[in-house]
A = this chain, B = another copy of it.
């Protein structure tokens, strides 16, 4: 099962030569989820060979330009390439108006339907699910309405061994019970160990995208035990005050959230252009949470 994250952009508001604004693609089985879509996202997708044939859901965390200005260009290219599939866009409501006015002035009707799902603090919760994954929104604390996104794989059932089915002559009801973890007793009334009947499925994994936010401990219980956490880290400790003032986080604060939430892996990004080399931020984060990595364009992280 593929479950991985490709970083397309990791700058904060001002891009640099090595860092485009926020955008990333989460690959899950046959689905691609685009998370934020800063200026140049379509070029970065080309650069990193992201085909977008299975991209039907786009999540926009908030309407600061570095998180959505690439969307209209991406949609226009989808249109020019003849896309037919519906495209779901999860974003604050004003984005629909922005896209619509840009379509209107270009006198363009897209070749596909765009279905906008308006995010607001009241509807925090489940945004989307299919048989394999669920996506939730979390309200963040930034200067304008801003959302994080949590992707939780659904727990797969255990796989019953074919040999066990014939050896114990298991009924469909038996199989269902065993998959659900119920104890099984054979015809002689003896307990059969679970691992002789089935191979446990892989544990369901999870990914959380925490976009622009001030340091906020109320996030911790919403992302507890997440496998991979992306958390913005715009500034270093040298600019902790500016971070608070601008409703951003430092790398060390991102690490503190990761530690408190007991996540397995932390990825930091959204680096201010003033840090030519983000290693200073990475080092600060690793002092608190050693299993931290930098979002680097084109890098693929397994979830």
Contacts and interface: CB of A to CB of B under 8 A. Distances in A.
A77 B14 contact: yes
Nearest to A78: B14
Contact of A13 (B63, B66, B77): B77
A92 B106 CA distance: 11
Interface in A54-80: 63-66, 69-70, 72-73, 76-77, 80
A105 interface: yes
A144 B106 CA distance: 7
A196 interface: no
Contact of A98 (B42, B70, B92, B101): B101
Contacts of A144: 105-107
Contacts of A64: 106
Interface residues of A, number: 37
A64 B143 CA distance: 31
Contacts of A76: 13, 65-66
A64 B64 CA distance: 22
A6 B28 CA distance: 42
A94 B106 CA distance: 10
B39 A80 contact: no
Contacts of A43: 15, 17, 20, 39-40
Interface of A: 13-17, 20-21, 39-40, 42-43, 46-47, 63-66, 69-70, 72-73, 76-77, 80-81, 92, 94-95, 97-98, 101-102, 105-107, 143-144
Given A65-B73, A65-B102, 9 more contacts: A14-B80, A17-B46, A20-B43, A39-B40, A39-B42, A66-B76, A92-B105, A94-B101, A107-B143
30 contacts: A13-B76, A13-B77, A13-B80, A14-B81, A15-B43, A15-B46, A16-B46, A17-B43, A21-B73, A39-B39, A39-B42, A39-B43, A39-B73, A40-B40, A63-B105, A63-B106, A65-B72, A65-B76, A65-B106, A69-B69, A69-B72, A92-B105, A94-B101, A94-B105, A97-B101, A98-B102, A101-B101, A105-B144, A106-B144, A107-B144
